[in-house]
Amino acid sequence: MDTSFSLSESEDALRDGFLSKPSHVENAGRRHIGDAATTSYGTQRGELRLSYERQTCVLTLWGDKAINFSQRNDVIYTIKCIVPTNDCNHQRCYNSTADTKFKVLISLISHQTSFGLDFESLSHPVHLLCTKHLKDNVRRYLKDKEGCSTKDGEFIVSSIFGRNGVLNCDDSFSYDSKIADLDSYLNKFPHFKSYFQTRLKPLLDKYVFLPLQKGPVTEQWTNNNCESMNNRLKQSLDWRPHKLPDLITKINEISAFQINDLRRAIHGNGNYILEDTLQQHRVPPDVWVKMSQLEKKEENMETPFPKPD
């Protein structure tokens, strides 16, 4: 699919509406907020609406978190491990995770209704673009719109995406310097230069170079990094269409294998091992065998998905 065309103002507005920026809160930033109330509650979903400084914040609790949490208005809580989602109706929104925990920070002496939040361990979503598709778009544009030779086209691609290219700079100063050098070279290709400055460079700045500098990824992202399971599923289906029940069965089987591999890695007796930063989650096999089901659940070793009826 050709994605190198420019969007109209109305199309840009529609895109921005669907890709609104996620909520952001500084780690460990204390928020003292006013009245808190449970606005909706289901069997596996609970929603807490909180307010502070004329703004509202919604925390959606899922699964066991929704079932087991009993709200108290006479304490201040520390809430750990929640994930921001897209803001809705001008209020910040967050989802619980399997690791979300409520800890009583302090009991209030007065009878004022109060609720305090100490946001910690937030995982902020990062939007990454596939550099393989970006390269393909650049090559296609240079060939179809500029009539650029293969030699010049590959030089431009290498100048942007190559080992010594713009995106592999160590800092913003080097990045800006190489962008300036590339701009001079692109004077020979005015149509592509306009496309690069107005369309491509803003995408590279925000969704490729910045994530590389801040550390969510250590090398240029390609969608191949998340398609291994897609290929495994196709192989299990012998690359042929199947009825929906058969597909669901296959997905369940593959997911079960993955969960078992994860457990074996945690117990230290499988084909995979935990990396150094995750060693605190390791439970030796002899300890695991002696643990009760409740202890296993508390250690987050139980399958995080509900069992089918």
Instruction: Out of 7-11, 234-238, 281-285, pick the least confident.
Output: 7-11
Number of alpha carbons in the 13 Å side-chain half-sphere of residue 132: 5
Quickly state the pLDDT bin for 279 (edges 50, 70, 90).
confident
CA atoms of 276 and 168, how far apart (whole Å): 27
> Which pLDDT belongs to residue 241?
84
Of 205 and 70, the structure prediction assigns the larger pLDDT to: 205
Write the single-letter amino acid at 195: Y
Query: Three-state SS string across 145-194, please?
Result: CCCCCHHHHHHHHHHHHCCCCHHHCCCHHHHHHHHHHHHHHHHHCHHHHH
pLDDT band for position 75 (50/70/90)? low
Of 109 and 140, the one with more pLDDT:
140
* pTM of the model as a whole: 0.41
- State residue 7's pLDDT score: 58
Q: Which of 51-65, 85-99, 292-306 has the lowest mean pLDDT?
A: 292-306
Total residues found in the chain within this entry: 309
pLDDT digits (tens, 9 = 90+) for 193-229: 999 999 999 999 988 998 888 866 788 888 776 666 7
State the distance between the two ends of the chain, measured CA to CA, in whole angstroms: 41
Phi, psi of 112 (to 5 degrees): -65, 140
Provide the pLDDT confidence category of residue 189 given band limits of 50, 70 and 90. very high
**Domain ranges within the chain, ordered by starting residue:** 24-118, 131-214, 240-298
pLDDT, residue 152, reads 92
Average pLDDT over residues 97-101: 75
Residue that wins the pLDDT comparison between 78 and 207:
207
The pLDDT of residue 18 is above 50: no
Predicted local distance difference test score (pLDDT) of residue 269 = 73
Q: State residue 41's pLDDT score.
A: 45
Residue 225, pLDDT score: 65
Q: How many CA atoms lie within 13 A of 250 on its CB side?
A: 18
pLDDT given at position 303: 41
The answer to whether residue 2 scores a pLDDT higher than 50 is no
Q: Compute the distance between CA of residue 83 and CA of residue 95 in angstroms, rounded to an integer.
A: 5
Determine the Cα–Cα distance for residues 89 and 101; give it in Å rounded to an integer: 26
CATH architecture of residue range(s) 24-118? Beta Barrel (2.40)
